[in-house]
Amino acid sequence: MIKDNLDIVKENIINACKKVGRNPDEVTLIAVSKTKPLCDLQEAYDYGIRQFGENKVQEMTDKHQQLPDDINWHMIGHLQRNKVKYLIPYVSLIHSVDSLRLAEEISKQAAKENKVISALIEVNIAHEDSKFGISENEVFELVDAISKLPNIAIKGLMTIAPYVTDPEDNRKFFRQIKKLSVDIAQKNADNIRVNMDVLSMGMTGDYMVAIEEGATMVRVGTGIFGERNYNAKE
């Protein structure tokens, strides 16, 4: 079933790209495997998936230890500063940086391991109280401040759009984020420590619209692994 779902998602990505004349190679599919058992991740891995997204440090670290080494692990959930150190040795991209204090901790821990950690700034584009992320007018200042830290590199923006039944309702938000990233890239054209190559936006309900509006990473969970049960123990 996971294989069939992956076929469908990949096909949808190709079609969304076709619609707007994009090259499907520009879009990275991140399989969001939170709450799912190892056997599900292994099945996706065996079918070629190498990008996995998790939202809890402990769960991601456990899975990282038990699965093959050539997986890229994406932290997509809210990150507490005291847990950053556990991720540094292996994380591929942190999507959810939303404060200078968090960025400082990432840079500090990365320095200990002689690493530069890639990160995205999480923007709460719809200003939902329930969501983390900063508002778009705070972004420039935060990017500025983070770009002075030696062991963290800003690669782009991430957003979690509202939960909607009609994905078209989120098009305006995706468009806003894209525009914001272009503005930031322009303003930082001379800053080698900032680039805006990555736009992480779009989930199961709206990734096709997100791709049409410029997403370079889509985070798909339910569409690959099925519904999550938060009460069940793995």
Ligand X SMILES: *Cc1c(COP(=O)(O)O)cnc(C)c1O
User: With binding defined as CB under 6 A, does residue 214 bind ligand X?
Assistant: no
For ligand X, which residue of 5, 28, 55, 170 counts as binding (CB under 6 A)?
Answer: 55
Region binding ligand X by CB under 6 A among candidate stretches 66-74, 97-105, 143-151, 216-224: 216-224
Q: How far apart are CA 224 and CA 192, in angstroms?
A: 36
Residues in the chain: 234
User: With binding defined as CB under 6 A, does residue 75 bind ligand X?
Assistant: no
Tokens at residue 205, please?
A: 């309900």
Residue number with the smallest Cβ distance to ligand X? 221
For ligand X, which residue of 2, 29, 31, 32 counts as binding (CB under 6 A)?
Answer: 32
User: With binding defined as CB under 6 A, does residue 29 bind ligand X?
Assistant: no
In the complex, what is the shortest distance from the CB of residue 69 to ligand X, in angstroms, rounded to a whole number? Answer: 24
* Count of CA atoms in the C-beta half-sphere (13 A) of 95: 29
For ligand X, which residue of 76, 94, 123, 161 counts as binding (CB under 6 A)?
Answer: 76
Measured on CA atoms in the order 31, 96, 89, 156, is the torsion positive or negative?
Answer: positive
User: With binding defined as CB under 6 A, does residue 204 bind ligand X?
Assistant: yes
Helices (DSSP H) in the chain: which residue ranges? 2-20, 38-46, 57-66, 84-87, 100-112, 136-146, 171-187, 207-212, 222-225
Residue placing its CB nearer to ligand X in the complex, 71 or 149: 71
Closest CA to 51 of 175, 208, 216, 167: 216
For ligand X, which residue of 40, 64, 77, 214 counts as binding (CB under 6 A)?
Answer: 77
User: With binding defined as CB under 6 A, does residue 220 bind ligand X?
Assistant: yes
